A and B are shown apart, each in its own frame.
Chain A
Amino acid sequence: MNPEYRFSHKHVLGLADFSVEDIQSVLQTAESFKEISSRAIKKVPTLRGKTIINFFFEPSTRTRLSFEVAAKRMSADTFNISNSGSSTVKGETLIDTARNLAAMNPDCIILRHPRSGSARLLADHINASVINAGDGTHEHPSQGLLDLMTVREAKGGIAGLKIAIIGDIAHSRVAHSNIIGFSKMGASVTVSGPATLIPPGIAELGAQVSRSVLEAVDGADVIMALRIQKERQQDPLFPSLREYAKFFGVSQKVADAASPEAIIMHPGPINRGVELDPKLADGSRSVILEQVTNGVAVRMALLYLIMGGD
């Protein structure tokens, strides 16, 4: 890495804004922080006195807890607001709510919101740092980073790998961040799924599109299955979960078409037996729980890099 390099982002809105060096910097920092979580006393004073608000408009177990654990292991004070408990249900706009939160002088707001661009909107209106914990169908940068970290750990590097992402690409912010992140880091990304769930112009984000799942995973080093949202059946996007599982689910047969050392990933929560065979999810090639462990480290790194530098 260039010795002059310094991580200089105030916000983490999407991997589209990150350079290769930014991503390397986060991954290196996360790798050095990972050890903290295996200590007997899992706490360092780095962010003591910092205030972090978890502002979650959508249900989330993993991501919200991961951010909270990360913040607490760095000694920051954390507060959680969910949609049902917030004043937005009383008709307050996102901007007004955010301005009120900002008036309490938090150092960082972590936002999960169903509308694409909402994290940027927040960043434009308040002084605190904003971390996008998933905005609509746009990006989920911390998930992309933890996936990069997990692959880098398992494979020793990212450049030159073949990544296959299978499922609902159109509505997946995880897919978007991963396509951007992996292609920036020199991997080749192939996506596959029902054509109704492959968005137009995905090639311009850096992904190749394959009509067949078997073709997409051919020789792949990484297979990532995406969660299929059951409510999507109401749009005429695919006929049934049964048919989806049969033609687009990651099965043993699909896994066998990949490289023998291929790892299996999933951002969770899994619909077992729909997008992923349970045996694969629990098998020796699965790194799904390692993704969760690395999620804490990546989020510690992000919090440190945007707040710890001063």
Chain B
Amino acid sequence: MPGLILLKNGRVIDPANGIDQIQDVLIVDGRISAVAQPGTLSEQTEGLVFDLTGKWVVPGLIDMHVHLREPGQEYKETIETGTRAAAAGGFTAVAAMPNTKPVNDNQTVTTFILAKAAEAGFARVYPVGAISSGSNGEHLAEFGELRQAGAVAVTDDGLPVGNSQLMRRALEYAGNHDLLVISHAEEMTLSHSGAMNDGSLATRLGLRGIPHIAEEIMVYRDLALAEFTGRPIHIAHVSTRESLALIKRAKEKGVAVTAETAPHYFTLTEMAVDGYNTLAKMNPPLRTEADVAAVREALREGTLDAIATDHAPHGELDKDMEFDLAANGIIGLETAVPLTLRLVRENQLDARRMVELLSVNPARILGVPGGTLSVGAPADITVIDPEKKFVFTEESIQSKSRNSPFLGWELQGKAVLTILAGRITWGQETFSS
């Protein structure tokens, strides 16, 4: 129930307002009412008071790349279970990719997703529409109606737009409707039903490889199209060193490009696949040490703008089989915070940069509210305990699926309280003692 919530003594990290200090935050009727020196906000008799000594208070995290699977594949995830997993992972908003069944290429599916999200109430859901109808790469989807219904971006994610003319037209036409175009960069004739990164491990395992150039050639094409059309582009799930070099160069030239990576690309290498571990099978595939190092550096210095999980739930039905038949993708919502905190502990990122990557920048890129703790803003707030140690187990997972290569990992740091518009969506029991 919205009402009064006082968050006391937490380390408030709000890059948008240049704040990183111990502050109290008062929430009234779903909005941030005050941010002030500890003890200066009078304690209300009615309402909840949390002592957050040692915890971080940050703008609600936003995952700009999530597969919620509904409609169509509810055995993997529903909008309810997916957004509950989001809340458990500290996210107050997610962007929902369009590769549902049917594909979200029209206003009806978009409206359905938003209705289900409102019903669940765990997170804001920003639908992403398809670039092409049916994501079949032939005709533009109805961008205008998608936008009117509530879509914030378009992509054929899961599949690349192979036809360069279609991609050009999508960038041009998206401008009429203020939609961001998101690129899943993959040259399909090179990835060619590959199952993992191309190289000596693929050779040893007898698996067909996906060379890094399959990503880079398409990154280059889409950067060139963005420059040519003068329209912004966002590159999803960047995994290779050379993709990052291309993006960096385009940014230096002034091309309106933003880019995201996923925690697995800065945490794991292709070695995670050894032994035919389908829980480490994904597209783009896990790469090499050099790529991981480049991704980390790009997060630090700004070539990458966002960390997004590419949360891709699959059942055992999709994963427990021969490696090259198994589905691509892993769940990510509930491990993003601890995996990113590893970089903070290793001094690869500071806390402020982490908040930019997980909240401030995704809000800006998608053109949605959030990413700030300004007075008057909706009270979407995540409280992180950066020290809390836990073992990531199947039992703890809120997502409907369990496909994670991080099962059994000892992790440190997690979201302990998630607040959406002044309503607690996760973690109250942690504090109820």
Contacts and interface: CB of A to CB of B under 8 A. Distances in A.
A231 interface: no
Interface centre among A16, A93, A199 (most CB of B within 10 A): A199
A205 B200 CA distance: 8
A44 interface: no
Interface string A159-171: 0000000000010
B321 interface: yes
B201 A201 contact: yes
B204 A117 contact: no
Taking residues whose C-beta sits less than 8 angstroms from the other chain, chain B's interface range is 20 to 34
A115 B209 contact: no
B203 A202 contact: yes
B198 interface: yes
A95 B324 contact: no
Given A120-B276, A121-B276, A138 B321 contact: no
Interface string B182-223: 000000000000000011111111111100000000000000
A81 interface: no
Contacts of B199: 200-201
B173 interface: no
B205 A201 contact: no
B346 interface: no
Given A200-B198, A200-B199, A95 B320 contact: yes
B245 interface: no
Contacts of B198: 200
A173 B324 CA distance: 16
B200 A116 contact: no
Interface centre among B203, B205, B208, B325 (most CB of A within 10 A): B203
A116 B323 CA distance: 7
A86 to B, nearest CB: 15
A137 B206 contact: yes
B206 A135 contact: yes
B205 A121 contact: no
Nearest to A204: B200
Given A117-B276, A120-B275, A120-B276, A205 B321 contact: no
A201 B206 contact: no
Given A115-B323, A117-B323, A200 B203 contact: yes
A195 to B, nearest CB: 14
B324 A121 contact: no
B252 interface: no
A94 interface: yes
A203 B209 CA distance: 16
B321 A94 contact: yes
B204 A204 contact: yes
A115 B199 CA distance: 18
Contacts of B206: 116-117, 135-139, 173, 176
Interface string A96-120: 0000000000000000010111101
A205 B203 contact: yes
Interface string A165-205: 00000100100100000000000000000000001111111
B322 interface: yes
Nearest to B323: A117
A137 B343 CA distance: 38
B407 to A, nearest CB: 16
Contact of A115 (B202, B204, B320, B324): B324
A137 B205 CA distance: 8
Nearest to A201: B200
Interface centre among B201, B204, B323 (most CB of A within 10 A): B204
Contacts of B320: 95
Contacts of A200: 198-200, 202-203, 209
Taking residues whose C-beta sits less than 8 angstroms from the other chain, chain A's interface range is 20 to 34
Interface centre among A16, A118, A139, A202 (most CB of B within 10 A): A118
Contacts of A202: 200, 203
Contacts of A138: 205-207
Nearest to B207: A116
Contacts of B201: 201
A95 B318 CA distance: 13
A194 to B, nearest CB: 16
Contact of A201 (B203, B275, B325): B203
Contacts of B323: 115-117, 121
B164 to A, nearest CB: 21
Interface in A1-20: 16
A200 B209 CA distance: 9
B207 A95 contact: no
A173 B202 CA distance: 13
B205 A116 contact: yes
B121 to A, nearest CB: 38
Given A138-B205, A173-B206, A118 B322 contact: yes
Nearest to A122: B322
Nearest to A121: B322
B322 A94 contact: yes
Contact of A95 (B205, B275, B321): B321
Interface in A209-224: none
A205 B204 CA distance: 7
Contact of B324 (A116, A176, A199, A201): A116
Nearest to B209: A200
Contacts of B207: 116-117, 136-138
Contacts of B275: 120
Contacts of A199: 202-203, 209
A87 to B, nearest CB: 15
A117 B325 contact: no
Nearest to A125: B320
Contacts of A203: 200
B422 to A, nearest CB: 48
A120 B205 CA distance: 11
Contacts of B322: 94, 113, 115-118, 121
Contacts of A117: 205-207, 276, 322-323
Interface string B274-287: 01100000000000
Contacts of A137: 206-208
10 contacts: A116-B206, A120-B275, A120-B276, A121-B276, A137-B206, A137-B208, A170-B203, A199-B202, A201-B204, A202-B200
Interface of A: 16, 93-95, 113, 115-118, 120-121, 135-139, 170, 173, 176, 199-205
Given A116-B207, A204-B200, 10 more contacts: A93-B321, A94-B322, A115-B324, A116-B205, A118-B322, A139-B206, A200-B198, A202-B200, A203-B200, A205-B204
The 3 A-B residue pairs whose C-beta atoms are closest, nearest first, are: A201-B200, A138-B206, A116-B206
Interface of B: 198-209, 275-276, 320-325
